[in-house]
Structure 1
Amino acid sequence: MNGAAIDDKLLQVGIGQLKVAGRSGHLQAVLGSCIGIGFIWEKGGRCGLAHCLLPEPRDACEAASCQMQASARYVSQAVPSLLRLMGAREADYPDITVVLAGGASMFSSKRLCVGQDNAAAARKYLGECGLSVRYCELGGKYGRQLVIDCAHHSYSIKEITPSRQDTLHAHH
């Protein structure tokens, strides 16, 4: 982010949130097993980022209440909500660059595959909307930082690995 103009806004996108920025904004999410879905719509002058916790609601009642609010708690609701919030119509979808990051295996349990499930759900729901992923960095054991730069219509993904000091403390 060095060298960014003073009027550039850095919007942190927390778990379950989705945010949209205009031509000078930056959107950032720090992801573990959560998945970040980034949309860069150069022609529309907007970018969006959803920070999704889980693939989809567990039951119909929860799903119905989710559809009433613009949230990114679930991948299933984040994709259409983000498109609506950005003001994109189906005819605009081919012009939207999609970036995925996150989905790490943060838990040692073989039964907890949240990261993999989130990644599969993202591909499913993006595909249902006819959106294709331009770039993705998914899986692994470490978190990632995803930054969308709306001014330059670009993105960066940085892996967050524990420092040597963190590793030493973890073994005590």
Structure 2
Amino acid sequence: MKVYTSNQSTEQSTSERVKVGVADYAVTESGAELVTSGLGSCVGIALVDTETGIAGLAHAMLPAASDGRSQTDGGGPDPMSNDAKYVDTAVNGLLREMVDAGADRSRIEARVAGGSAMFEFNAGDGAVGERNVEATEEVLGEHGIPIVATDVGGDHGRSLSFDVSSGTLSVRRAHGDTRDL
């Protein structure tokens, strides 16, 4: 099977475990498991077309690519950033790769986890985790992708395991319990 990531495309055998790093995403087909860990304020976005078995998982750090614009260079794009770092561009990349692999956009559904408030501070525009969740809801809504399950907020980290064959997203919380979405 073909695995598409924000960094490269590689061939994978069936029942493969594909690790999605921070500021990364991957798209694959049935028989694979997509995993990511270290979600604090970051958000994990799992998309699947259950009919074709094509699925993707993103681990995004910030709500929007515009958040990565440098203050010192007049607001131009950050040359050290990548599309998977931001919720808006990560979702766009996931959808593009999934459709290219044969998914039907009208059948894609989402599961979302993360967006914790890991640190206490007051910012005028809200905590990063909360803003990540809001950006995820907004961009998925713009694409007409329904969110069928969530495990967001709180003050704890999470690790995710996405069984592409079943469409089940297992969320292991830092305080010990596991939820299947």
Q: TM-score, normalised by structure 1?
A: 0.79
CA distance in 1, matches of 2:95, 2:14: 25
Match status 1:20 vs 2:32: no
What are the superposed Cα offsets for residues 140-169 of structure 1, whole Å, 9 maximum, x if unpaired? Answer: 00011121101222221121128xxxxxxx
The aligned residue for residue 138 of structure 1 is 152
Q: For residues 120 and 15 of structure 1, do their structure 2 counterparts lie closer, same or farther at Cα, with a shift above 3 Å needed?
A: same
How much is the aligned-residue C-alpha RMSD, in angstroms? 2.5
Moved more, 51-60 or 129-138: 51-60
Any conservation in 1 of the 2:56–2:94 contact (CA below 8 Å)?
yes
The aligned residue for residue 161 of structure 1 is 175
CA distance in 2, matches of 1:131, 1:7: 27
Structure 1 residue ranges, 4+ long, deviating more than 6 angstroms after superposition: 63-66
- Structure 2 residue runs without a partner (length 5+): 1-12, 70-74, 177-181
Alignment: residue pair count: 153
Instruction: Tell me the percent identity.
Output: 32
Match status 1:36 vs 2:22: no
Largest Rg, 1 or 2: 1
**Match for 2:98 among 49, 62, 86?**
86
CA distance in 2, matches of 1:99, 1:130: 14
The aligned residue for residue 106 of structure 1 is 118
Give the secondary-structure state (helix, strand or coil) at the position aligned to 1:87: helix
Q: TM-score, normalised by structure 2?
A: 0.76
What are the superposed Cα offsets for residues 47-83 of structure 1, whole Å, 9 maximum, x if unpaired? Answer: 10010000012346328997xx6x3100010111100
C-alpha displacement at 1:93, in angstroms? 2.7
